[in-house]
Structure 1
Amino acid sequence: MPTKGTAQERLKYEQVADEIARRAGELQPHDHLPSERDLMQQLDVSRMTVRRAIEQLVRRGLVYQVHGSGTFVADPDVVTKTLRLTSFTEDMQQRGLTPSTTVLRTAVQPATEDVARRLRIEPGADVLVLERLRLADGTPMALESVHLPAMGTDWSAFDPTASLYAQMSAAGITVERAAQSIHAVNLDRDQAYHLDQAVGAAALQVTRVSYTEAGVPVEIAETIYRGDRYDYDLVISRAAQ
């Protein structure tokens, strides 16, 4: 049961978040918001309250932060994804969008040499291959191809239209980290058809191998994101020489 003070603080930062969101709505995408110090003075609140409010707005996809530069208004037509390990379903729900899935293909097939190497299984071992079109509010957003090893799990019991991460977690398989690469690509005819884009349109190809806390690979996912609806927010720093 939260204390009275906790409830008051929760209400305060939500009020501040609503006010910052209102101000952001009067600006253009990628405009700079006032600094934390300026917001503290303008709204007469603590730095912690401002930070919690901004964190909430980042999760809602209304603003984004650039390390060393500040907070900026997000483009409502673009999903800005950070490198925090989240599922497509989580990304869309955090932005107030309704995720849905069209299953294009499911099959159990022998692992190729490359898939076996990355999943650390024997070549020819059974893997579940799942190809899906991911949508948000009915708009095609991404094409996804996933390879999952057996892991003693009955994949036939999984719902291919729902979040795999949530179902894996329910089955006792918790994804803790992932190795990921991002490449700029152009859509081929089949990809363009599913994503409702022109052939040759710009896209992002994200290849990810996900691991449990013990370092066991449990997923290979290759996802093609629409270039006009996705960007990646990377925070980098220069180490002292």
Structure 2
Amino acid sequence: MLLEKTSPVPLHIQLRKIILSMIESGKLKPGDKLFSESEFCKKYNISRMTVRRVISDLANEGYIQRVAGKGSFVCEPKIIEKLTYVSTFTDDMICRGLMPDRKLLERRIEDPYPKIAEMLNLDSEDKIIYVKMLLYANHEPICLQNVYLPYRIFFKFMETSEEEIERRDLCEILNTFIDRPVLWAKQSVEAVLLKAKEAKLLEVSTNIPGLLCERVTFDELDTPIEYVTFLYRADRYKFMIDKRNVLHQNNKRSIEK
């Protein structure tokens, strides 16, 4: 595929589409090396500045990874999570054909911070159970999970062995300690910079972007039963939200009436 020099579409956009098409079609697979800047310039008769802009944009968006002294390589496709439903990490990974795994880093009983107490609607004397997990997909660390549980509800969880916690999905275990089912959750997502300790656990460079997801889970009586944060690698994860035209739906309902 060649670039159309007479096209109103800028050259950098044309080159971007060519590279993305090769990645999405499988012609370029994860781990494959791209042409060097000079090879792109020669092949498409374009400036090094144009090539550098495209490579930089694709690297920032997580499609490729630049390695100093070696070149640019195609990344593994990002894991996409829809925010429409309450689901478990294990279910998400299995649905995508990935093997989930987890490692328990910390578990303890402690006094809640004011924010945690507010999120879980706790009294001043209430304790929480704090759990920190490192989550994997196909043996690759992709998420740090921090879980805060009301001790009065989940006190028996402290008797659960480390082996069982790492073998089963945490949500599956916690569901055995509650009488009412989880019904809904309130969730937010924001971009953050990974700190040195977080980056080390996730096996990435310091100060690269991460995606921080905060979630409060409620039962059928709207009682908050869990506050959890997920810190995802932004180079391996992205979220998708389905949105509908509410005005159009309302008009449709009016017509149907």
TM-score (norm 1): 0.66
CA distance in structure 2 between the partners assigned to 1:166 and 1:185 by the alignment: 29
Choose the corresponding residue for 1:160, options 154, 158, 165.
165
Is 1:29 matched up with 2:29? no
| Higher helix proportion (structure 1 or 2) | 2
Is 1:236 matched up with 2:236? no
Which amino acid is 1:99 matched to? P
Q: Does the 8 Å contact 2:153/2:178 carry over to 1? A: no
SS at match of 1:224: strand
1:146-193 alpha-carbon deviations (Å, 9 max, x no partner): 100124431123343231211122334522111011001111101110
Is 1:126 matched up with 2:127? yes
1:52 corresponds to: none
SS at match of 1:176: strand
Is 1:192 matched up with 2:215? no
- 1:28 Cα deviation (Å)? 4.8
- 1:100 Cα deviation (Å)? 1.1
1:3 corresponds to: none
1:80-120 alpha-carbon deviations (Å, 9 max, x no partner): 10012111111111112211111111110012222111101
Q: CA RMSD in A?
A: 2.3
SS at match of 2:124: coil
Structure 2 gaps, min length 5: 1-20, 27-74, 249-257
CA distance in structure 1 between the partners assigned to 2:212 and 2:203 by the alignment: 17
Q: Does the 8 Å contact 1:112/1:124 carry over to 2? A: no
Q: Which residues in structure 2 correspond to 1:36-75 (within 5 Å)?
A: none
CA distance in structure 2 between the partners assigned to 1:237 and 1:142 by the alignment: 30
Q: Which residues in structure 2 correspond to 1:110-189 (within 5 Å)?
A: 110-153=111-154, 154-158=156-160, 159-161=164-166, 162-173=168-179, 174-189=181-196
Would the alpha carbon gap of residues 199 and 124 (structure 1) be closer, same or farther in structure 2, given more than 3 Å must change?
Answer: farther
Q: Would you say how many aligned residue pairs link Structure 1 and Structure 2?
A: 173
CA distance in structure 2 between the partners assigned to 1:122 and 1:160 by the alignment: 28
CA distance in structure 1 between the partners assigned to 2:106 and 2:178 by the alignment: 25
1:215 corresponds to: 222
2:110 corresponds to: 109
CA distance in structure 2 between the partners assigned to 1:216 and 1:118 by the alignment: 10
CA distance in structure 2 between the partners assigned to 1:112 and 1:236 by the alignment: 34
SS at match of 2:110: strand
